[in-house]
Amino acid sequence: MIHSKLPEVGTTIFTVMSALAREHNAINLSQGFPDFDCDPELHDLAFRAMKEGHNQYPPMRGVDVLLDEIAKKYSALYNLPLDPREDITVTSGAAEAIYSAITAIVHPGDEVILLDPAYDLYKPAILLNGGVPRVYKLNSPHFKIDWSGVERMVNAKTRLIIINTPHNPIGRTMKESDLKALENLVQNTGIFVISDEVYEHLVFDGEPHESILKYPGIFQKGFATFSFGKTYHITGWRIGYCIAPKSLTREFRKIHQFNVFTVPTPLQYAIAGYMKDSRHYEELPVFFQKKKEFLQNALAQTRLKPLVSEGSYFQLYDYSDISDQPDVDFVKEMTIKHGVAAIPMSVFYSDPDPQERLIRLCFGKTIETLEAAADRLRAL
């Protein structure tokens, strides 16, 4: 019998819940993608790039015009001088960027510290490369990081720390104090950092996004990964990018070139053109905060209790006043009987608390979709 290198891994809960939603004609608030289209200008730019003949292999690192626009963006945001040819790589989504970064630096036996709960990509990628996941658990409802506790996990085998801000699934953001603590932790060590920042522009209440790009002590040994799909509502285009110092980018590209080699040429040109107007991402915090608040208000009279969401387009809800069912059973029943699909929180933990009663809803949908979902959830 053939066994993959991930014999314990099955179909992801995201695929399972989306399929269940389709089967029962449920409103899908489980998977993290919009149910509205991107700006028609992006369609036009992609079509124009095809008509202009940008249809063959681009450079492995990405097309120069897109690399230039990315560098300009972070120069404007953080006054960060980037070499667009040496520090930036366009990738097949942020997932490929994260996987390639892990593969570039994690060797068999290396330990990788994860902050649990965590997006489900990280742990399998570590295991595929022979690494050893070490989990620091964040406890609900506040999910605060005690950096002294993280530091106690560090030993001679520690190779990497992975962070995610704004965080999927908990919707929390790291603050300046968190990044300074991490900077102090990794200084004068051989520890690298991967920072998953795909929701960089979905930070609420006027708060700034704290990127590792703002902290030289982290960035000099860090990979920052981003997603055009999340920023421009084009998750199906599968385009992201990785920013890292030249020495790390060199190793990153050795993996990237054999993972995917490159990313569709006309789509890169389209995004490069679209990036010239920074309002396309500057308006996102208000755009998504309105959706978050709409859903919270629509569910205010239900027995679902919201936890704090500071960023991303996810909201955790406590359903303990409704049911004592385990979360996987609860979301399946909610999908089948009430017609709304969600994600159970337990799937994001390495060692879930069997008493926790939390689900994740995605509010990155139209107001009409959120209203229809709320109408159904009021029956819970």
Position 99, amino acid: Y
pTM above 0.95, yes or no: yes
The closest of 104, 86, 65, 75 to 213, measured between CA atoms, is 75
Structural contact between residues 64 and 84, judged by C-beta atoms closer than 8 angstroms: yes
202-233 burial, b for 16+ CB within 10 Å, e for fewer?
Answer: bbbeeeebbbbbbbebbbbbbbbbbbbbbbbb
- Asked, for residue 5, whether it belongs to a domain, the answer is no
Residue 78 has what pLDDT?
A: 97
Q: Which of 236, 252, 277 is the last residue of a domain?
A: 277
CATH number at residue 24: 3.90.1150.10
What is the full DSSP assignment across 189-243?
A: SS-EEEEE-TTTT-B-TTPPP--GGG-HHHHTTEEEEEEHHHHHT-GGG--EEEE
- Asked, for residue 290, whether it belongs to a domain, the answer is yes
Per-residue pLDDT of the chain (380 residues; tens, 9 = 90+): 788 888 777 788 889 999 999 999 999 999 999 999 999 999 999 999 999 999 999 999 999 999 999 999 999 999 999 999 999 999 999 999 999 999 999 999 999 999 999 999 999 999 999 999 999 999 999 999 999 999 999 999 999 999 999 999 999 999 999 999 999 999 999 999 999 999 999 999 999 999 999 999 999 999 999 999 999 999 999 999 999 999 999 999 999 999 999 999 999 999 999 999 999 999 999 999 999 999 999 999 999 999 999 999 999 999 999 999 999 999 999 999 999 999 999 999 999 999 999 999 999 999 999 999 999 999 99
Residue 12 has what pLDDT?
A: 87
Q: Which of 277, 292, 312 is the last residue of a domain?
A: 277
- Asked, for residue 97, whether it belongs to a domain, the answer is yes
Convert 81-99 into a string of H (helix), E (strand) and C (coil): CCCCCCCEEEECHHHHHHH
233 and 297 share one domain: no
68 and 130 share one domain: yes
Residue 2 has what pLDDT?
A: 81
Helix (H) or strand (E) holding 306: strand 305-306
195 and 251 share one domain: yes
- Asked, for residue 50, whether it belongs to a domain, the answer is no
146 and 217 share one domain: yes
Structural domain harbouring 364: 13-31+283-377
139 and 162 share one domain: yes
110 and 220 share one domain: yes
